[in-house]
């Protein structure tokens, strides 16, 4: 395991590389809204260790404005996260010569969907993806706040009008039809943040997809059995499709 800093648009991106070998496959993890390279219940770190045991390298990182990367959360937009995703993927392709998978959690799934047609990973894994990004975020009354020129406070973290406008105009869901490689979606059936039904609809848009319900789980799998189940299914998917 090693720490890296990549520069993108004049700011540094912090990342952790789990290097099994230069000729191994690599999985890149996109964290969620206000998340980071470890994620809730340390699930990204746990996944990296499980992938290592399976012979797969990984990179988990903080989008600029989150975690240990430079920038402020208020500067973050979907466009800035898409730019960071491209920078990380370019780094991974320069360093690792095996196949590549991308995993996106929640809004990380939004970024994975928006960038997949351009970045062309060999496989895509989505955990509770906010594919219908407009619907997910408008539950907080964002359109009215844009009209009033306000900035949104999310538990003490401020986001910009630029972010809100992109959430309302960019469409991650419609990008699915442009991605034809294997896809795995894992989603809690009791998710109150991003409804499970969103992933049921999303699955219909892909050519090669497996949708796995995580029975009773919430948005970030906050019970002992759920992260273990999600990690096991994810490692199996990447092992079958990348090695």
- pLDDT tens-digit series, residues 23-51: 999 999 999 999 999 999 999 999 999 99
What is residue 237's three-state secondary structure? helix
Instruction: Check if the beta carbon of residue 115 is closer than 8 Å to that of residue 82.
Output: yes
Nearest to 71, CA basis, from 180, 173, 154, 157 = 157
Q: What pLDDT score does 166 carry?
A: 93
**Residue 44: inside a domain, yes or no?**
yes
Nearest to 37, CA basis, from 55, 14, 19 = 14
**Residue 152: inside a domain, yes or no?**
no
pLDDT digits (tens, 9 = 90+) for 62-92: 999 999 999 999 999 999 999 999 999 999 9
Nearest to 111, CA basis, from 30, 12, 202 = 30
Distance CA 202, CA 113 (A): 11
Instruction: Check if the beta carbon of residue 179 is closer than 8 Å to that of residue 117.
Output: yes
The number of helix segments (H) and strand segments (E) in the chain equals 8, 10
**Residue 153: inside a domain, yes or no?**
no
Model confidence at 142, pLDDT cuts 50, 70, 90, reads: low
SS3 content of the chain, % helix, strand, coil (to 5): 40, 20, 35
Instruction: Check if the beta carbon of residue 150 is closer than 8 Å to that of residue 167.
Output: no
Q: How many residues does the chain have?
A: 243
**Residue 212: inside a domain, yes or no?**
yes
Looking at residue 87, which CATH number applies to its domain? 3.40.50.1820
**Residue 140: inside a domain, yes or no?**
no
**Residue 11: inside a domain, yes or no?**
yes
Asked if the model's pLDDT at residue 160 lies above 90, the reply is no
Q: What pLDDT score does 19 carry?
A: 97
Model confidence at 148, pLDDT cuts 50, 70, 90, reads: low
39-53, 99-113, 141-155, 201-215: the lowest-pLDDT one: 141-155
Q: What pLDDT score does 146 carry?
A: 55
CB-CB neighbours of 216 under 10 Å: 11
Asked if the model's pLDDT at residue 137 lies above 90, the reply is no
Sign of CA dihedral 81, 7, 89, 120: positive
Model confidence at 144, pLDDT cuts 50, 70, 90, reads: low
Distance CA 53, CA 48 (A): 9
**Residue 167: inside a domain, yes or no?**
no
Distance CA 129, CA 113 (A): 9
Asked if the model's pLDDT at residue 126 lies above 70, the reply is yes
Dihedral of the alpha carbons of 109, 1, 57, 185, in degrees to the nearest 10: -20
Q: What pLDDT score does 143 carry?
A: 56
Instruction: Provide the mean pLDDT of the chain.
Output: 94
Model confidence at 227, pLDDT cuts 50, 70, 90, reads: very high
Q: How many domains does the chain have?
A: 1
**Residue 150: inside a domain, yes or no?**
no
- Which residue range forms the structural domain that includes residue 190? 2-133+174-242
Distance CA 60, CA 210 (A): 24
Asked if the model's pLDDT at residue 145 lies above 70, the reply is no
Model confidence at 168, pLDDT cuts 50, 70, 90, reads: confident
């Amino acid at each position: 395991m090693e720490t890296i800093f990549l520069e993108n648009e004049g700011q540094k991106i912090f990342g952790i590389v789990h290097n099994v070998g230069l000729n191994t496959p690599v999985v890149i993890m996109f964290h969620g809204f206000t998340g980071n390279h470890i994620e809730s219940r340390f699930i990204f770190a746990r996944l990296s260790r499980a992938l290592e045991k399976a012979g797969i390298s990984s990179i988990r990182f903080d989008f600029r404005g989150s975690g240990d990367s430079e920038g402020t959360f208020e500067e973050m937009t979907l466009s800035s996260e898409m730019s960071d995703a491209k920078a990380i993927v370019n780094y991974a392709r320069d360093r690792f010569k095996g196949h590549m998978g991308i995993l996106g959690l929640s809004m990380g799934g939004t970024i994975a969907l928006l960038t997949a047609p351009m970045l062309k990973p060999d496989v895509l894994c989505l955990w509770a993806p906010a594919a219908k990004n407009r619907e997910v975020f408008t539950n907080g009354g964002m359109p009215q706040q844009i009209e009033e020129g306000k900035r949104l406070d999310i538990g003490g973290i401020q986001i910009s009008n630029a972010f809100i406008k992109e959430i309302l105009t960019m469409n991650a869901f419609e990008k699915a039809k442009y991605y034809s490689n294997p896809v795995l979606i894992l989603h809690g059936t009791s998710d109150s943040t991003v409804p499970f039904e969103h992933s049921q609809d999303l699955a219909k848009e892909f050519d090669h997809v497996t949708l796995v319900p995580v029975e009773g789980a919430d948005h970030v799998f906050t019970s002992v059995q759920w992260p273990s189940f999600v990690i096991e299914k994810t490692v199996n998917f990447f092992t079958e499709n990348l090695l």
